[in-house]
A and B are shown apart, each in its own frame.
Chain A
Amino acid sequence: MIRTSTEINVILNKAQQALAQLGVQISEAANAGVENIDPDQRDRIIRLETIRAILQTILTSDGAIVAYFSAPANAKKFNNILDGLAALSKQYSGPFIPMLGTRNIPIAFYGSGGSGGGGSGGPVTPGGTTFQNLSVNSPGEVVDTFNANISSFAYYMYSVQGVNIGEGNRSGFFILSWKGTDVTISGDVSTSEVGGNTDNVFFSAAIVSGQVQLTCNVPSNNWTVRGTRILFQNISFSSAQGDFPNGIRTDTSGPFWVDRRYEITWDMVSLSSRTLDFPLTYLNSHCLGIVIHPSPPLQDNALNLDYVDGANINTMSPEGGWQVIADSITMYRKPSGGFDSATYNNATAVITMRHYIE
């Protein structure tokens, strides 16, 4: 191949985006009264027709390059076609649009690539990918890994937290840029240190076997690193699944829970001796937040709706709440609340994974 696979993918993505957006522009212009003899409209129509013809010629129905053009003997011919495709696509760009072949398989969810380093901090979400490493030891550990071919830059928001004496917290953001095996970090802007120092805590990056590896360098052990990576080519600030049809949403004013937009996963867990046997690590790797509905309900209804964000309990009833101890969540009430343990033994709780939208 004369061009790299990354360059080819970029051109094909541009062409797919052009195909999509030219149709919109043509119909919008036509609806506004622009005639087909208008030079700009004519240009759009011809480009649309030509791009479609080229894509249908060089791609199979599942989006792969046909064998003829992927053969080394035809590399020059294919390169010339790509030149034309790139010129026709002009300013259009965007992420890969999946080929659905001959079946209209609905799109259930768009991700921007899962994190493979240090454990995922949650599911891939529209808008970004969370990552975390809850115990980064000196001199440093990889906290995020992903395929370098899916982008050439990334935006990171992060938080580092030290647990040793004199160590504090800091959060910030930076931009990562790479080409080939060269990668650089720039624009690391962070808050002031709080609760102690974060000296010699910094991020570095490398391309290893086609993977971008983000490392957090630390001067001591047990640093907690969390964050979100955004690949702007893949970003979407709306749910790919979209809203439910009108008329069935009752909580349209925020803040509200929006778990209904996503696949709903739930588990029944036993509540024994007021401790939920539900490892916190599972929560950290599977959800951004949860709602706990104990059954039978607690006497104080306010206790029935709390949510957990990682290791932090974000809402607490005045009468009690949930507490993270070791790797489990414990329900408790203040002594004055007259907690009756017998009432709750062998009860169950439903864990619902949800996103909380302000």
Chain B
Amino acid sequence: MTFLTAIENWASDLSTAQLRDLSQYGGSNPLRSALALYVYLYKRDAQNNDTPITIDNTNPLTANSWTFALPAPDGVFVAIVYGFYIWTAGTYPAGTARYHNGVYYKANTSTFSTPGADSTWDVLTDIQAEVTGNTSVEQTQTYNWSAAHSMTGPLGDILADFGPTVRNGKCRDLDRLTNVLYGAAMIESAFTNFRAGDYQDAQSVIDYVQANLAA
């Protein structure tokens, strides 16, 4: 299945935000109750360098959002969602990964044993390294966008200052109007690049906004 995510629910002080799970469960996809989710999140810069962001994965069976510390740079965030099927009794070929009682396992041989009961299952210590590409685990990488700092920082202040200059529907300060329009248009341009899949362009534009317009 394809997991879908989005960054939403920014804290008022922008200290945190939520990576939300918007995936469709059921139908042709597994039920949420059949999966244990393990999530990685990265801030990707304009040179495609990734900085890991700590995600709390302690609630894999029911989590539908993950609160994380929102870094200062706006722009592109890469999330990787791994959906481990919850182990049920049966015979599994070598390489099969399953979640059982709070632990992620991978069979090192064909086995019908309960994970943890004998040596046929290995405990996964580095999920990303050990199950990426493993076809027994549902997994999707998604791009996510956040421009919260650009929209609510100094540009927000400019917008707030602009409000009183409008009287009877007419703007009395064209310089302020230009500042508002310029910043807002550049943020929209960055987001449009993101929507178009031009992630590096999107990041470059939002970097410019943060460094020059929102500073």
Contacts and interface: CB of A to CB of B under 8 A. Distances in A.
Contacts of B94: 295-297
A115 B52 CA distance: 40
B195 A97 contact: yes
Contacts of B205: 23-24, 27
Interface string A332-358: 000000000000000010101000000
Contact of A53 (B133, B181, B196, B198): B181
Interface residues of A, number: 54
Interface string B132-149: 110110111111111000
Contacts, number: 149
A60 to B, nearest CB: 15
A259 B134 CA distance: 10
B185 A104 contact: no
Given A245-B50, A296-B110, A23 B193 contact: yes
A301 to B, nearest CB: 13
Among B78, B188, B207, max chain A CB count under 10 A is at B188
Given A20-B198, A244-B80, A106 B48 contact: no
Nearest to A15: B192
A105 B22 contact: yes
Contact of A259 (B95, B133, B195): B133
A202 B86 CA distance: 54
A99 B195 contact: yes
Interface of B: 1-2, 4-8, 22, 40, 42, 44, 48-50, 78-80, 93-95, 110, 128-129, 132-133, 135-136, 138-146, 178, 181-182, 184-186, 188-190, 192-193, 195-199, 201, 204-205, 207-209, 212
B15 to A, nearest CB: 19
A348 B93 contact: yes
Contact of B5 (A48, A106, A348): A106
Nearest to A265: B135
A97 B196 contact: yes
Interface string A273-311: 000000000000000000001011100000000000000
Contact of A108 (B95, B142, B208): B142
A245 B80 contact: yes
A20 B193 contact: yes
Contact of B197 (A110, A243, A246, A248): A110
A245 B98 CA distance: 23
A48 B93 contact: no
Given A52-B184, A106-B142, A246-B49, 13 more contacts: A26-B186, A28-B204, A30-B208, A30-B212, A103-B8, A106-B145, A107-B195, A241-B142, A259-B133, A263-B2, A264-B133, A264-B139, A350-B135
Given A104-B6, A108-B4, A243-B48, A49 B189 contact: no
Contacts of A110: 197
Nearest to B109: A296
A266 interface: yes
Given A23-B185, A23-B205, A240-B197, A106 B143 contact: yes
Nearest to A294: B93
Contacts of A245: 40, 42, 44, 50, 78, 80
A116 to B, nearest CB: 20
14 contacts: A17-B196, A20-B192, A28-B204, A49-B181, A52-B184, A104-B144, A106-B144, A106-B145, A241-B142, A242-B78, A242-B199, A246-B49, A266-B135, A295-B94
Contact of B182 (A20, A28, A45): A45
Interface in A76-126: 94, 97-100, 103-110
A106 B144 CA distance: 5
A22 interface: yes
A263 B140 contact: yes
